[in-house]
Structure 1
Amino acid sequence: MNILDIGVDIIEIYRIKELLDKNPRFLEKMFTSKEIEYFESKGFKAETIAGNFAAKEAISKSIGTGIRKFNLRDIEVLRDELGKPIVKT
C-alpha cells in the first residue's frame, strides 16, 4: 500500500484508561492478538495502548477513509527490535 497523505491523531490517555476499566473487551475489539501481546509485555500501560490507538486513527486518516470503511483491527501497529513502529494492514 502506498500512503499519499499524512494523518495525525492525538488521544487523551485518561480516555483509554477509562475504556480499559469500563470495557474488558475493548482490547479485543480494537487490537490484534500481536498488539495485545505487545501491550502485555509493557504491563498494559494506558499510554502504550493510547499510542497504538492514535497511530491507527492517524493511519486511517492518511488513507483518506477515516475509520468508517474498515475495522481498526485491520491495521496492526507493532515495533521492530529498536522500538520503531511498524504498520501492517
Structure 2
Amino acid sequence: MIVGVGIDVVDVARFSATLEATPRLTERLFAGSERDLPPHSLAGRFAAKEALAKALGAPVGLHWTDAIVVKDAVGKPSWQLQGSVRARADELGIRSLHLSISHDAGIASAVVVAES
C-alpha cells in the first residue's frame, strides 16, 4: 500500500549559487559521501531529500544528512536511511521507498513513493 508520495524540482544554477554563498549549507544538507559531487548531482539529491520529506508527511525534526542517496552498480538511485529519517519511516510502517531523479534544462527533479 502506498503511504506517501513526494515530488520536488530544483533550479540547478540557483541552488549552486546558494551553496557558494553559504558554504556551511553543504554540511547541513549532505552526508560526507555526497558532498564532493558536481552541482547538478547535489541539486538532484536535494530535490530527492525534499521529495522524501513530503512522502513522509514533512514532519519537523528530520535531519537532511539522515537520508543519503546511493546508487547501485548500474546507477539506479536508492536510499540509505538512518537516525531521524529512519525513525519516521519506521513509525509510518514504510518497507519500501522508490526514488527517481532526473535532470533537464537546468532543472533537477525527484519523485519518491513510500510503501508499507
**TM-score normalized with structure 1 length:** 0.79
* Root-mean-square deviation (Å): 1.8
Alignment of 1:76-87 (within 5 A): 76-87=68-79
Alignment of 1:1-89 (within 5 A): 4-37=3-36, 39=37, 45-65=38-58, 68-89=60-81
Structure 1 Cα separation of the partners of residues 47 and 73 of structure 2: 21
Instruction: Give the partner amino acid of 1:47.
Output: H
Structure 2 Cα separation of the partners of residues 58 and 75 of structure 1: 11
**Residue deviations 1:1-30, cap 9 Å, x none?**
x96111100111122111222122221111
Aligned-partner SS, 1:64: coil
Structure 2 Cα separation of the partners of residues 80 and 25 of structure 1: 28
**Would the aligned equivalents of 1:3 and 1:63 in 2 still touch at CA under 8 Å?**
no
Structure with higher helix content: 1
Larger radius of gyration between Structure 1 and Structure 2: 2
> How many pairs align?
81
Aligned-partner SS, 2:3: coil
User: Matched residues, percent identical?
Assistant: 32
Structure with higher strand content: 2
Structure 2 Cα separation of the partners of residues 71 and 3 of structure 1: 23
Structure 1 moving runs of 4+ over 2 Å? none
